[in-house]
Chain A
């Protein structure tokens, strides 16, 4: 079943923060976050493998709450380069690999000067 992302779209001014949520009705084993710029390939940001674990990538971090079956992506002090569509992907039960992911519909993030 497809994870649900919220919000669908967000517009920020440079330097502002944003949170993107990803929830699943099924138990989560791994959550993979990707960013896709218009007309380009999705690019891997990070993977969350354990409940409550936070990972970081520059000023982008994420958390994973197994009990709530959700993950959140935190973008702090946003830069123009953060603009794009963010997808969360979940793997099959027991798998942590990047294959066979079920992606959410995406959250379109626009950062304006």
Chain B
């Protein structure tokens, strides 16, 4: 049973470009969470999605950031018009159902904005 898969592992974007980060949850998992980790800092919750629904986006910046988890396919975190401050590691985690105590994390996408 493959774990949470994130791609790409590393992404370099120039300022002003768009970044699309993909996350395929573990098989059978329908709940996905995105976290951002700035260098030398802890993980910060961004958004919680269930298939085709955004459950909680209280940690998402108001502009330029969006997330989706379609019925088919991976969850996508999209960052428009990236700025240097967006450089970070973005982690996705999944769980099989609401209320499940353990979150299974992917290996992250390291975004570098140049």
Task: List chain A positions with a Cβ less than 8 A from chain B.
Answer: 2, 30, 32, 34, 39-44, 47, 49, 87, 89, 95-106
**Residues of chain B in range 1-19 having any CB-CB distance to chain A below 8 Å:** 3-4
Q: Point out the residue from A30, A98, A104 that lies within 8 Å of B103, measured CB to CB.
A: A98
Q: Which residues of B contact A95 (CB under 8 A)?
A: 99
Number of interface residues, chain B, beta carbon within 8 A: 29
Query: Which of A30, A39, A100 meets B48, CB within 8 Å?
Result: A100
- Count, A-B residue pairs, CB within 8 A: 68
B106, CB-defined interface residue at 8 Å? yes
| Contact across chains for A105 and B33 when beta carbons are under 8 A apart | no
Q: Is the interface of A mostly helix, strand, loop or mixed?
A: loop
Whether A101 and B45, one on each chain, are in contact in the complex, defined by CB atoms closer than 8 angstroms, is: yes
Docked-complex contact A42 and B43, CB < 8 angstroms: yes
Answer whether residue B25 sits at the interface, using C-beta atoms and an 8 A cutoff. Answer: no
* 9-residue interface stretch from B65-73, B74-82, B90-98: B90-98
Hey, which chain B residues are within 8 Å of A105, CB to CB?
A: 41-42
Specify which chain B residues have a CB less than 8 angstroms from the CB of A97 in the assembled complex. Answer: 95, 98-101
B35 — which chain A residues lie within 8 A by C-beta?
103
Is the CB–CB distance between A2 and B102 below 8 Å?
A: no
